[in-house]
Amino acid sequence: MIHENYKLTTLDNGIRIVTEQLTHVNSFSLGFWFNTGSRNENSKNNGISHFTEHMLFKGTKRRTSKKLSDEVESLGGYLNAFTSKEHTCYYGRGLGQHLPKVFDVLSDMVQNSVFKESEIKKEAGVIVDELYDIEDTPEELIFDKFESILYEGNSLHYPIIGTEKNIRSFGHNDFINYIERFYTTKNMIISASGDVNHDEIIRLVESKEFNSKKPRSAKRKKVNLKKANDLVLRKEIQQAHAIIGRSAVGYDNDDRVKVNLLSHILGEGSSSRLFNTLREKNGITYQINSFLSSFSDVSSFGVYFSTGEKSLQKATDLVYKEFDKIIHSGINKREFNRAKEYLKGQLLMHLESTSNRMIRMAQSLLYFNRVKLIQQSIDSINAVSLDEILELSKTLLDPDEFSKVIISSKTN
C-alpha cells in the first residue's frame, strides 16, 4: 500500500482546505482554486475567466504588478496560474519557511485586485496576441475547433481564450461582477503539498476575509450531445493536421478508466498501435497520438496526427483500420498489461512533483467531492479486465460515431 497523508477541512464559510505534508522535501506548492472556467460563460462574456486570471497579476490595492512577483521571486519562489474550461487555479511555489508570504500574495491577488482600465486595455492586447498565436499554431487550434463542433449548443463549446471582440470589450465592472459571482468561499479550494502544516494553513485562511457571498447560478447545465459535423479549415501551412474524434464518458463515470486504457493501447506512447502503424511502418507522420481530455460529465476522445497533404487520406484510412482491428481481432494480453503498467507508472511518476500532487488533490475534490487515494486509482486500473476493454471497443470505436476536423492548405 502507498502511504498517503491527506488532511481535509471544510471551514464554516465553505472553503475546503486540503493538504499533504511531505517530510522529505523542503519546498511546497500552494494552489487557490475556483470552480469556474469557460464552461460558466456565454457568447457575450466568453473569455472573461481567462482574462480575469491575467488581470489578477496586474496589481492590487496593496501591491503593484511588479511587487506581486518580486515579493515571491526574491525568496526563490514562483507564481503562476491557469484557466481550464471548468476551473481556475492560482498557485505558488517556494521553500517551506516562505509559505506565509506566498499565501499572503495569493490572497491579496484574489481579494484585492483593482482592475485598472489602463491595465485592462494593455492586457487585452496581450491576450489578443495569445489568440493570434493559437490561430497560427495548428496543433493547438485544431483542438479548440474540435471541441467547438463536438459540444455545439453547450457551454463547453466556447474556447477558453474567448473571442477578440469580447476580449477588447471587457471593462472594470465586468471583472468586479465576475469576481463577486464566482470567486466565493463556497466555490473555493485551497490545496497544498510539500513542506506544509495543515493547521498553519487553516490559521492563514481564517486571518483573511474571503468573499463569502453565495455563488449565483454556479451550477452547470448538463451536456446535451449530438453527433458533430465534420469541419475543414484552410490555412497556409506545410502539413495537414487532423483529428478523428468523438465524445466519451467523463470523470463521473467509472468506465472512464477503461476508455483511458483503450486510448493508451491505441495511440499513447511509442509502443502504441497507431505510432507503430503510421510512423514506424508507413513513415507518413511525425506526430500521432490518441487523447482523452476529460470534464466532470463528458470527455473528448480521439486521435490527432499531422502529415503531408498527399498522405492525409492514407493516414486517415490507417487510423480507421486500427479501430477495426481492435474491434474484430481484439487485443492481446501483453499489450493490455503493458497499457496498465504504463498508466500506473505515469500516475506514480507524477507524484514526484509537489505541484502535480497539489493539482491532483484539488481536482479530486472538484470532480469526486473527496480526495481519491492513489491506491484507489491503481486498484481501479488493476480491476479492469481484457473482456471489458474488448466490449467497450465495439461501441467506442464505432467509425460511424466519429467526426473529423482537418486543417489543410489544400483547396479541393
Does one domain contain both 82 and 186?
yes
- Is 334 within a domain? yes
Does one domain contain both 179 and 111?
yes
- Is 107 within a domain? yes
- Choose among 296, 246, 240, 241: nearest CA to 266: 246
* Helix-then-strand count for the chain, H and E: 15, 11
Does one domain contain both 240 and 167?
no
Catalytic (active-site) positions: 53
- Is 217 within a domain? no
Q: Which domain holds residue 134?
A: 6-206
Provide the residue-wise pLDDT of the chain in tens; the chain has 412 residues. Answer: 566 789 999 999 999 999 999 999 999 999 999 999 999 999 999 999 999 999 999 999 999 999 999 999 999 999 999 999 999 999 999 999 999 999 999 999 999 999 999 999 999 999 999 999 999 999 999 999 999 999 999 999 999 999 999 999 999 999 999 999 999 999 999 999 999 999 999 999 999 988 777 765 556 788 888 888 999 999 999 999 999 999 999 999 999 999 999 999 999 888 899 999 999 999 999 999 999 999 999 999 999 999 999 999 999 999 999 999 999 999 999 999 999 999 999 999 999 999 999 999 999 999 999 999 999 999 999 999 999 999 999 999 999 999 999 999 875 5
Does one domain contain both 268 and 165?
no
**pTM here?**
0.94
- Is 222 within a domain? no
Does one domain contain both 163 and 255?
no
Does one domain contain both 135 and 253?
no
Q: How far is CA 138 from the centre of its chain?
A: 19
Q: 3-class SS at 60?
A: strand
Do strands 78-83 and 88-95 pair parallel, antiparallel, or not at all (unpaired)?
Answer: antiparallel
**Phi/psi of residue 305, nearest 5 degrees:** -155, 160
**CB atoms closer than 10 angstroms to residue 381:** 19
Does one domain contain both 178 and 267?
no
CATH of residue 15's domain is 3.30.830.10
